[in-house]
Structure 1
């Protein structure tokens, strides 16, 4: 067994598991890093019989991430299933209930799911341009920074209110409207472009409709799960047409990716109770600028 293949799989697994939930773009990192460190056989070489084995392997790692998210939020997904069964029977659902939240999760996944199918071939072409993805990573940092700045300004305007009044200005997931769920779901669609973060775009959109950091992050993770899972399932057949990576190694990568995703979710769920998006914005700017410089000089 080629030791390099094991290293590549484990590095990509850890990268995918961590960056999928952190608002710093997992796809952006998995496009940029292999090219920067000379793993050209993954992104466009001959390791897979003349075809790139990058997408099938990365998609398999996404499957591990989605399974970890389902396990972490199993109560929420159990509630979604119950809601579907209950609604099919009663044909009604009341706003402000757990059933309403379940429907907001379902509705919020629609924009990214539809656009992902319609634009699949055009979006995949971006995977061959790490320099462009680096620029998108910088733009992602700007999105996070602007979103957090607007949030802080809104909070500053509430300083004259009492603690109870300030709390009333923020909303829970159960108060979302169908229009707002669709808008947040549309924001998630931006992350179909490598370099833009799925969690980052949806958290910023959630903050824009006055969700708390905690609820915006939770909704973001819940919205991302079906999209990640669906994309992974659709690409699984491609795994059987590549020979560079043994199936057992891909399974190992999925497990590592899943564990990393589970730990990241637990950390971020706690972090966003009070944490800000600014540190992630700074990271995206620095990583994107350094990547562009390296691509234009060292890798030129």
Structure 2
């Protein structure tokens, strides 16, 4: 067994599983960390992206397990709509259609921009800069939410949250806008969950529903990307199949635990701590990469 490949797989799996749900960019970390620890040849490998996408598959399976009731509802909704030809707004059935609509922008842009985006995976310095910008997006989104809460400043945080919208009240247009924000995370360094949560706050969702919608929107995209990329792993011998499967399982467990934590966190928590982290991590990584190159 190649010990280095085992260590790389474990590190990448844990990074993917944890940072996919935390709004700090999983792709960004899986590009930056190998560059910082001297695994630059891993980033340049043609098998790097397929391995990362395979680890994403573990994450998507964990999300399906955690939100199995929501995905069962999506299936039921599609069946009911075919039979009744009706869509009832303001219900869980309506949420299912919001999820479907929200995945469309990223799906289309992901296909159109695939090859251009893949080139960024070999540039940890650029990705570090995007990670810093991701922190700014999170901070700005939370600042705008606080402005919306200005008239509710005398209320407790939990009471303020109750004055904002639930997911069921979104329109299809608003779901498409949140989905369009998700497409920004096709660029390594920008967080998929972060951009969609910010967009959800922008349409006045509660923090809890913005996070839930973010996690639900990400699942089909992650799953679709895995279906497209994973077959290429069968044509390489750099990472053995058992190691990839092990990495997927490890990534899935980490993602499940992260989802449990974040779902609870966003009942009261905010995005600011993650913004500070992205700023600090981004600056440190930029300085280190520039120093090494110098």
| Moved beyond 6 Å, runs of 4+ | 161-165
In structure 2, the residue matched to 1:258 is 252
1:165 shift after superposition: 8.6
Gaps of 5+ in 2: none
Confirm whether residue 93 of structure 1 aligns to residue 84 of structure 2. no
Contact 1:213 1:272 in 2 (8 A): yes
In structure 2, the CA distance between the partners of 1:293 and 1:160, relative to structure 1 (3 Å rule), is: closer
Tell me if the contact between 1:64 and 1:255 (Cα under 8 Å) persists in the aligned partners: yes
The match for 1:179 is 173
TM-aligned CA distance change 1:97 to 1:228, over 3 Å: same
Show the counterpart of 1:119.
113
Say how many residue pairs are matched. 294
Unaligned runs of 5+ in 1: 45-50
Matched, 1:209 2:203: yes
Distance 1:246 1:160 in 2: 58
State which of 140, 148, 161 in structure 1 corresponds to 2:142: 148
**Matched residue SS, 1:151:** helix
Is contact 1:169–1:210 with CA below 8 Å preserved after alignment? no
1:161 Cα deviation from its structure 2 partner: 7.4
Q: 1:297 aligns to what SS in structure 2?
A: helix
Tell me, in whole angstroms, the C-alpha distance in 2 between the residues paired with 1:4 and 1:162: 51
Q: 1:161-185 deviations in whole A, cap 9, x for unaligned?
A: 7999956631111100011000000
Per-residue deviation, 1:237: 1.2
**Structure-2 separation of matches of 1:272 and 1:157:** 21
Name 1:27's counterpart in structure 2. Answer: 27
1:240 aligns to what SS in structure 2?
A: helix
Question: What residue number does 1:157 align with?
Answer: 151
- 2: CA distance, partners of 1:142 / 1:38: 28
Which position in structure 2 is the counterpart of 1:275? Answer: 269
Measure the CA separation in 2 of the matches of 1:163 and 1:43: 43
Structure 1 residue 40 displacement after superposition: 2.2
Residues of 2 paired with 1:284 and 1:167: CA distance?
25
The equivalent of 2:76 in structure 1 is 82
Query: Structure 2-normalised TM-score?
Result: 0.97
After superposition, give the CA deviation of every residue in 1:182-216 in whole Å (9 maximum; x if it has no partner): 00000001000100000000000001111110000
Q: Is the 8 A contact 1:68 1:258 kept in 2?
A: yes
Does the aligned pair in 2 maintain the 1:144–1:277 contact within 8 Å?
Answer: yes
- How far apart are the structure 1 equivalents of 2:155 and 2:292? 54
CA distance in 2, matches of 1:167, 1:133: 34
Alignment partner, residue 41 of structure 2 = 41
Question: 2:25 touches 2:131 (CA, 8 Å); kept in 1?
Answer: yes
- Kindly report the root-mean-square deviation, in angstroms, between the aligned alpha carbons of the 2 structures: 1.6
Deviation at 1:35, TM superposition (A): 1.0
Partners of 2:56 and 2:196 in 1: CA distance? 18
CA distance in structure 1 between the partners assigned to 2:158 and 2:25 by the alignment: 36
Q: Does 1:128 align with 2:131?
A: no
Contact 1:36 1:299 in 2 (8 A): no
Deviations 1:126-149, CA, capped at 9 Å, x for gaps? 111111111000000000001011
Q: Which residue of 1 aligns with 2:9?
A: 9
Give the distance between the partners of 2:130 and 2:158, measured in 1 at CA: 40
Aligned equivalents of 1:60, 1:176: Cα separation in 2: 32
Between the aligned partners of 2:158 and 2:118, the Cα distance in structure 1 is 48
Q: State how far apart, in whole Å, the 2-side matches of 1:189 and 1:59 are.
A: 16
